Structure 1
């Protein structure tokens, strides 16, 4: 181990801004959860960008990463992982780590990873299995993902760590007690079928919702024009706003102004927008996909709705729109659970504990 005066350095591979995982690590990069007790120095490295020509820039990025491995000699590397191209790129980064004798930690985020892995040709599945099994630790976001990497990919259970996502939240929940307040429903995420946007628009257009007073904001990238057209075709222009992608400050303003966080996804890992809604004291209405059931207990801190069921979604939304007492009770419990388990101010310490376990094992091997 390095001397106490020189904390061990970790390289963390982060993607370009845009998705939930990039938001999480950008918050850490800005100092979220870091204080004088931090025992590690974290060096963030942009592993991929979404601009045109990214593939042509990838060899240069690998070269810069290899230079850091050789000349800055990190104690370990943290590799954030999703499916498809992310797995291919990160497997190359992991190979470089092995060549440099630097242990790596995999952090699985992709909600569709099971389908991606199971649909790979057998030779590629074997490569991905080796990629996972050679990791010093595999961090997953919930029990369903632990079961997957242990039972399907074959990772040693002792090397798998469940560490749920975390986000920033306000110190206090915004006041929503104004007389005559019209409840606002908020969706944050990629607009499209995978997030349940078609059935959400259908649910909002149903008679049991039309008879109530509410407004909604569907914010995110993806199929923005298509969603705007669907809202217009449903005759919801006066109630539903589709602003497209919004930045961090606008997201915070929307969370503060809203009452219900809706996320009728078909596939998720553990969505940050749901945790953000909990942090701002919104009532979650979500589908039980990925690690969501680890967080949301139906009728206690939110409501669960079946996947791809516009009728059920309309019924649940109508229930929390019309029943302010129920909405407030679920939201208060969601906020309490956020404070206990999903506040980013406690996240870095938990993440560093994983790293320190890895470094301790590495030291023991080196001493043999």
Structure 2
């Protein structure tokens, strides 16, 4: 009979150290400490944004293996994206399988179907086994549940839909200043994958030029190219491209903006969209990944086709020119955020997954 453990579950969270959303999400929990919830998070960083990162990977993997063998963890939470992330996390799953420590997979990449399809057959078999052995596979929306069940072959009973969550202000910033010019905000990696070329084209169309607005396109990636495209379109006086901005600057931009635009070609569930909803912005986004699970066209935002500058300009023009429509969509987006995407409710949902895994494996925990 398996031993029943009466303590706070110790969860090894395996993730990269980066500016990405998943690191920001778990960094919030790291700062909280174990007393804020029903789990004690132990963080294992597999990759950093520096040239020497690879040199530290195998020492960290060996240290992780030792900790698993010594039963320092009760559950392992493997954050998985496409490309090298999957291959690294399969190595971290091996000691878990050998010792019987359950692991969860948290799938984040919007590019995962293409990555999986393009793998050589032997590697695809390894990835399939990696997913099927997981105690739970956490996905961000229905489209990703369908993918892991129908394509990878994960048992549907082991798949959990848990959308991302972000910080939001206690109250929506006041935007009732007289003669206010609506501000459009983009947050993300600048480049074709996020729809920046068609966004610049949309802002330059006649139906947008005839209206009063300003825009900020903030993020890393193709900053110089985006600045050049804005200049070539004659939008220098309306569109600012500051490049990457830190967390405090992001909050300032969110508080000062009215519309969150994200015309991505590929997404899983973008955090910038949820952040915009939390700040009471009106979303204008493309229906990619799990976005349609969140945005209902005409109710809490607008959905526009991918790579369609005319449709994007039309949607932006509607919410720029009609303040009542913009406010109605934004208010519903904020209401949905408070119910489903506020990080203050996320930890409890995530920890329920761990407790379920422990119960299924013959363990349980109590504070």
Alignment TM-score > 0.5, same fold = yes
Asked if residue 9 in structure 1 is aligned to residue 47 in structure 2, the reply is: no
Task: Please state how far the C-alpha of 1:35 moved relative to its aligned partner.
Answer: 5.9
**CA deviation profile, 1:68-95 (whole Å, cap 9, x unmatched):** 2234521010000000010111111111
Task: Please state how far the C-alpha of 1:307 moved relative to its aligned partner.
Answer: 0.1
**CA deviation profile, 1:140-193 (whole Å, cap 9, x unmatched):** 000000000000000000000000000010000000000000000000011110
Q: Secondary structure at the match of 1:77?
A: strand
Asked if residue 321 in structure 1 is aligned to residue 320 in structure 2, the reply is: yes
CA contact (8 A) 1:2 1:8 kept: no
Report the equivalent of 2:247.
248
C-alpha distance 244-72 of structure 1, shift in aligned 2 (>3 A) = farther
- Matches for 1:1-368 after TM superposition, within 5 Å: 3-4=5-6, 6-31=7-32, 38-71=37-70, 73-363=72-362
Task: Please state how far the C-alpha of 1:364 moved relative to its aligned partner.
Answer: 6.4
Provide the aligned length of Structure 1 versus Structure 2.
362
CA distance in 1, matches of 2:363, 2:330: 47
Moved over 4 A (4+): none
Which deviates more from structure 2 when the two are superposed, residues 16-25 or residues 158-167? 16-25
C-alpha distance 364-352 of structure 1, shift in aligned 2 (>3 A) = closer
Task: Please state how far the C-alpha of 1:56 moved relative to its aligned partner.
Answer: 2.1
The Cα RMSD (Å) is 1.5
Task: Please state how far the C-alpha of 1:14 moved relative to its aligned partner.
Answer: 2.2
TM-score by length of 2: 0.96
CA distance in 2, matches of 1:57, 1:249: 30
Task: Please state how far the C-alpha of 1:101 moved relative to its aligned partner.
Answer: 2.3
Unaligned runs of 5+ in 2: none
Which deviates more from structure 2 when the two are superposed, residues 292-301 or residues 206-215? 206-215
Task: Please state how far the C-alpha of 1:99 moved relative to its aligned partner.
Answer: 2.4
Unaligned runs of 5+ in 1: none
TM-score by length of 1: 0.95
